[in-house]
Structure 1
């Protein structure tokens, strides 16, 4: 199934480069810029729009753009991508983990002890992701390109069998998960208390762009009773035909609660 590379999300450690047409304007200034832009530089930490890539050059959307951490890496990626897209190359690389190591140190989280206890490993982010349609909430769904193709095929085959599969969420960045921890710590929770219900930043399969949460209409997202739906029954029978497997069945060795909604593309 063809995936248009012009709709790729380009990923760098601190800044994402979005296709402008997939972003929502947050004011009149943004609206004017986005209507003319090819891509928008978006800060990963808080989602701020930093600059618009126009045919005539880069339009700053924040003061002191040149001081923005990670700007040079983002611009280098932007310059390199047109050649990549025109060549049809689909190699997916991985971003370095040094920023994540620094943030985990700040949290006081012992990576080695956590990995040993859970059997999970740090997951690097891909350096680009493919647009795989929209999720239940009309947000762009990002996956690695092979996973995106497989998801779209699987969704369409299920539809032919009168089963509706909805994506609930796909790729999530390290910064997204770190933001969950920052907000909960600001409310007074300890790191240990947060780890009881949230995976440590960097250890989620969602960071890889190979995993997605799946639901079906009129059913609440990410709840165990998804297993009672025709959608789950269809997945149990057919998901492996498309390269997907359920990551966290009952009594999984990682100690993660049963997640019948969470499926990973494993044929990469």
Structure 2
């Protein structure tokens, strides 16, 4: 029998340093060729940096969706992860652990960033989970990925709020190192310096969103990630009840990290929630 925390392929994302393995049913086709491939696939290899579909995995084997797939950075690790899956038994997500930080550290070095950034800000490097659970969908109908424990806590909290007449919406959950690196690369290409970018964006690897345990939370009719969220009944409910579900607000006013007040950003700390 499967482990008690084994979940079906359609409900988790398998993570590697450069490539994610997505359930095909959660992805939208961008071309006719994609549509044909996705209709037959159970898993799609998706480049983390830009979201490009690299290959479709089906019972007959792997169908490349990009030329020169064998030369794609990280493809061997992604295919090895795929080969290790037991597609008939589901996946024991609790056993997956975290990805190593080696690749991130190499890329931070290229940006001229080292441990001095963490010392200066008080922020720690955050590893990515090697697997994430589908926690439902966000405000924009995008799949919401979190660690399994965070996903269960979020959905329990959301259901409890609903019973009290409060609607909580996820604005965003897990974000990869590559996502944040992409922001830096695009801004550097437009002529900004790393120091300029750091005034508005955290360095890649230092965001709680990388952990799969952080959520930006909103409520209908309220713009995302705005301080005005603190004036809503949803925020008042979270202030009273979020700790019961293991969530804490990471960046209150005058926080030690010097990060702006973020009443919308909540982190799953589990039993350590205050």
Which interval holds the TM-score relative to the shorter structure? Answer: over 0.9
- Deviation of the 1:30 alpha carbon: 0.1
Distance 1:198 1:257 in 2: 11
TM-score, length-scaled by structure 2: 0.93
Distance 2:222 2:255 in 1: 24
Spell out, residue by residue over 1:127-149, the C-alpha distance to the aligned partner (whole angstroms, 9 max, x if none).
00000111001110000000000
2:17 and 2:99 in contact (8 A); partners too: yes
Residue matched to 1:201 = 204
Distance 1:4 1:240 in 2: 30
1:251 and 1:258 in contact (8 A); partners too: yes
- 1:1-268 counterparts in 2 under 5 A? 4=8, 6-82=10-86, 85-86=89-90, 88=92, 90-109=94-113, 111-267=114-270
- Deviation of the 1:117 alpha carbon: 1.1
Partner SS for 2:62 = strand
1:5 and 1:130 in contact (8 A); partners too: no
Pair 1:20–1:86, CA change in 2 (3 A): closer
Distance 1:59 1:2 in 2: 27
Distance 1:248 1:97 in 2: 24
The list of structure 1 runs, each at least 4 consecutive aligned residues, that deviate by more than 2 angstroms after superposition, is 1-6, 83-92
- Deviation of the 1:2 alpha carbon: 9.7
Spell out, residue by residue over 1:207-254, the C-alpha distance to the aligned partner (whole angstroms, 9 max, x if none).
000001000001000000100000000000000111000000011100
Distance 1:247 1:183 in 2: 28
Gaps of 5+ in 1: none
CA RMSD of aligned residues (A): 1.7
TM-score, length-scaled by structure 1: 0.96
Distance 2:6 2:264 in 1: 26
Distance 1:105 1:2 in 2: 38
Distance 2:46 2:8 in 1: 21
Aligned length: 267
2:249 and 2:263 in contact (8 A); partners too: yes
- Deviation of the 1:86 alpha carbon: 3.8
Partner SS for 1:132 = strand
Larger deviation, residues 257-266 vs 100-109? 100-109
Distance 1:195 1:151 in 2: 30
